[in-house]
Amino acid sequence: MMTKPTDLIRLGKSEIWITPIGLGTWSWGDRLFWSYGISHSIQDVKDAFEASIMAGINFIDTAEIYGFGGSEKLLYELLKTTDRELIIASKLFPYPWRLSTKSLIRGLKGTLKRLGVESLDLYMMHWPLPPISVEKWTASLVRAREEGLIKHIGVSNYSLSQMRRVQEVLSKHKLDLAASQIHYSLLHHPPEKNSLIQACHEDQVAVVAYSPLAQGLLTGKYTPESSLPKGMMRLGNRSVIKRIQPLIVLMRQIGERAGGKTPAQVAINWASKKGTVPIVGAKNRRQAEENLGSIGWSLTDDDVHDLEIASSDIKLAFPMEKLARS
């Protein structure tokens, strides 16, 4: 029986323990969505990494699609600068030209090469997109594990019923699902996400929450007058920014009462309090350090309730999720 190291969270039923927040690396090397090279440099990324791991963060999330391999390559350079034991998670994107499940092993080998590792701690299917069924992709993940290329299997953006189908395949191989990564924040907590979280807790599957800051909206840095962030596919538009202002005011008040916490720290703490491991994107040292201030304290149950009431009417459109259920 494994004992729980202080403050760490077990990755499913595995031997791996991760910190209560992880570091998201989508923006590292990604020009298209996150303006890498314009809004942040390699030095900024190095600083964000250093600040995070010096504070003890051990869980890092990447994907082959982030910067089309750029994030994984940057991570490889950064991993060389530390001897800390880090838990690295990556994902395979079901590109439309990936018409055979054999492409998973090929894609995974590309990831391993870019990261400079022989085996990955956690590997996930990025999206359950058609045409290949979740069962077939899962069988490929099992094969990757049998070949020693990955230690644990996860899913990302899967609904509860899709996750159940994955678990059924895994159970035939006496394997457990280690993690389910979901889009989850104060601006995206529909009831079905809460049922999924509950099911994960019952089955001891770690819930990893992505975009916990709603891609910056929940930091409070945008006002209806300020300019919008550049880059494709950002979550907010001017109307959303206008509608979230009362929520931001409440987050500031709650943060003040909690000892001077910022809206970003309140947003991340909320996601932790809901039983998830938020993976937070940071482009530079300042952002990483602020985000680290979300751990080591806790919102009250009343705060959580008030935040959810204040955010319940604001819905962010996210077409990819619809596509993944089709």
Ligand X SMILES: NC(=O)c1ccc[n+]([C@@H]2O[C@H](COP(=O)([O-])OP(=O)(O)OC[C@H]3O[C@@H](n4cnc5c(N)ncnc54)[C@H](OP(=O)(O)O)[C@@H]3O)[C@@H](O)[C@H]2O)c1
Residue of the chain from 21, 26, 57, 94 that contacts ligand X (CB under 6 A): 26
Judged by CB under 6 A, the residue of 186, 282, 292, 299 near ligand X is 282
CA atoms within 13 A on the CB side of 128: 26
164: burial class by Cβ within 10 Å (0-12, 13-18, 19+)? middle
Structure tokens at 315: 């819905």
Residue 140 interacting with ligand X (CB under 6 A): no
279 binds ligand X (CB under 6 A): yes
Q: How far is the CB of 170 from ligand X (least distance, A)?
A: 19
Query: Which residue from 10, 39, 105, 243 is in contact with ligand X, where contact means CB under 6 A?
Result: 39
Contact 109, 144 (CB under 8 A): no
Q: Which is nearer to ligand X, 173 or 289 (CB)?
A: 289
**Nearest residue to ligand X, using CB?**
24
- Nearest residue to 188 (alpha-carbon basis) of 160, 227, 157: 157
Nearer to ligand X, 52 or 219 (CB): 219
If the CB atoms of residues 24 and 69 are measured against ligand X, the closer one turns out to be 24
- Of 100, 148, 147, 140, the closest CA to residue 124 belongs to 140
CB of 276 closer than 8 Å to CB of 253: no
Taking the C-alpha atoms of residue 57 and residue 265, their distance in angstroms, rounded to an integer, is: 16
Site for ligand X contains 255 (CB under 6 A) = no
Q: Quick one: which segment of 191-199, 205-213, 269-277, 304-312 binds ligand X (CB under 6 A)?
A: 205-213
- Does residue 159 belong to the site contacting ligand X (CB under 6 A)? no
Q: Which is nearer to ligand X, 130 or 146 (CB)?
A: 130
Helix 160-172 to helix 134-146 angle (10° resolution) is 40
Query: How far is the C-alpha of 305 from the C-alpha of 299, rounded, in Å?
Result: 10
Q: How far is the CB of 3 from ligand X (least distance, A)?
A: 29
Tell me the closest approach of the beta carbon of residue 52 to ligand X, in angstroms: 11
- Measure the CA–CA gap between 272 and 138, rounded to whole angstroms: 28
Q: Which of 66, 123, 184, 222 is catalytic?
A: 66
User: What is the token pair recorded at 305?
Assistant: 């309730």
- Minimum distance between the CB of residue 11 and ligand X, rounded to whole angstroms? 16
Asked whether position 274 contacts ligand X by CB under 6 A, the answer is no
Comparison of 77 and 146: residue with beta carbon closer to ligand X:
77
Considering only 25, 101, 111, 162, the residue that binds ligand X (CB under 6 A) is 25
Amino acid at 118: E
Is 216 near ligand X (CB under 6 A)? yes
Chosen residue from 49, 184, 210, 270 binding ligand X by CB under 6 A: 210
* Residue 66 among the catalytic residues: yes
Q: Fill in the DSSP letter of residue 241.
A: H
Minimum CB separation from ligand X for residue 27, in Å? 4
Structure tokens of 296?
């080591």
Is the CB of 173 or the CB of 314 nearer to ligand X? Answer: 314
- SS3 at position 40: strand
SS3 of the chain: helix, strand, coil, percent, to 5: 45, 15, 40
Would you state the structure tokens that stand for residue 276, as one six-digit string?
Answer: 């998830």
Exactly one of 90, 167, 215, 269 binds ligand X (CB under 6 A); which one? 215
Closest approach of Cβ 129 to ligand X, in Å?
11
The residues that are catalytic are 66
